[in-house]
Chains A and B, each alone.
Chain A
Amino acid sequence: MSLVARHLESNGIATVVVGSARDIVETCGVPRFLFSDFPLGNPCGRPYDRALQHRIVDLALDLLANATQPRTTVQTPFRWSDDESWKDRYARVDTAEAERLRAQGEARRRRQRAAKQTAVD
């Protein structure tokens, strides 16, 4: 999506990215980025929290209107929850998981090879 932002912006359309994967977006480099330190999935706010969502979209509009230079990141002041354990859990590889993940990767590569072979046949 950051690449789309860059393309639109290069062609005269102003953009704001609203998201939570800070390192990915900032590494790609975008004109305007509204960052919320939330788990991936609800960049506009917690499900069914209308007031929070409205506030976040409002902040995105502010950023769209007020930024004066590229790479302008604004972080919203909101917390997902008092419990931040989701940050440690997401896609975390611990030793108990290692064997299962390796087997999963192997199985996937086998299926992909088989699919390729079928396509060639």
Chain B
Amino acid sequence: MGDAGTTHRTAVSYIDRTREYYAAQGYERPYRWARHDEVPFTPLPKPLSDCRLAVVTTASPWRDEMPRDGVLRGDKAVWSGPSTDPPTRLFTDDLAWDKEATHTEDVESFVPLRHLAEFAEAGRIGSLAPHFHGVPTDYSQRTTCEQDAPEILKRCREDAVEAALLVPL
């Protein structure tokens, strides 16, 4: 490594990689990833030490089932759990992550509720919201935008949060 320079991007392009992977499986039309020119922005309304924070994950509640073709049977939907009693395991087998390089047995490595509770205790954030939320990674961006994202917003409002930490696998 060092200063030898490079001829390629150093971060993996997941857009390129998934397109090539599905093309190799014989899918002719590549997935069209969301792309926006305009990006909204809301500054924190008060100091972080006064803000209530929610956590959102793409993982699902634990289940013993193995996904078939990478897809779970039954509908996946927005779900919530108590932040004060963080889950010790979550279901991630149906999601695309690097199953060769790592594992998801340590929930804090992708849903950091205990770390945030410590930050709340230390006064770095005002408080941790009573609930964390899960949102499905849906193939349909329309489902995400019209159904799941509004549901997450509703649940965040019910907990009166000012900010959210979103942690996709």
Contacts and interface: CB of A to CB of B under 8 A. Distances in A.
Contact of A15 (B69, B103, B164): B164
Interface residues of A, number: 75
Contacts of A46: 102, 109
Give the secondary structure class of B's interface.
loop
Given A28-B35, A42-B102, A43-B110, A23 B42 contact: no
Interface residues of B, number: 78
Given A8-B164, A70-B41, A23 B21 contact: no
Contact of B163 (A13, A21, A53): A13
Contact of A44 (B27, B110, B118, B119): B110
A74 interface: no
A37 B110 contact: no
Interface string A63-105: 0110111110000000010000011011111000110011011
Nearest to A30: B39
B42 A31 contact: yes
Interface in B29-88: 33-45, 47-48, 51, 56, 58, 69
A22 interface: yes
Given A12-B42, A104-B25, A37 B11 contact: yes
B70 to A, nearest CB: 9
B134 to A, nearest CB: 11
Given A16-B163, A91-B20, 7 more contacts: A13-B153, A23-B11, A27-B34, A41-B99, A41-B169, A43-B110, A50-B108
Interface of A: 1-19, 21-25, 27-31, 35, 37-50, 53-54, 57-58, 60-61, 64-65, 67-71, 80, 86-87, 89-93, 97-98, 101-102, 104-106, 108-109, 111
Interface of B: 10-18, 20-22, 24-27, 33-45, 47-48, 51, 56, 58, 69, 92, 96-106, 108-112, 115-116, 118-119, 124-125, 135, 137, 141, 144-145, 148-150, 152-153, 156, 161-169
19 contacts: A6-B39, A12-B45, A15-B165, A17-B168, A25-B168, A27-B15, A38-B102, A40-B96, A41-B92, A41-B110, A64-B165, A65-B44, A89-B100, A90-B100, A93-B20, A101-B21, A101-B25, A105-B22, A106-B26
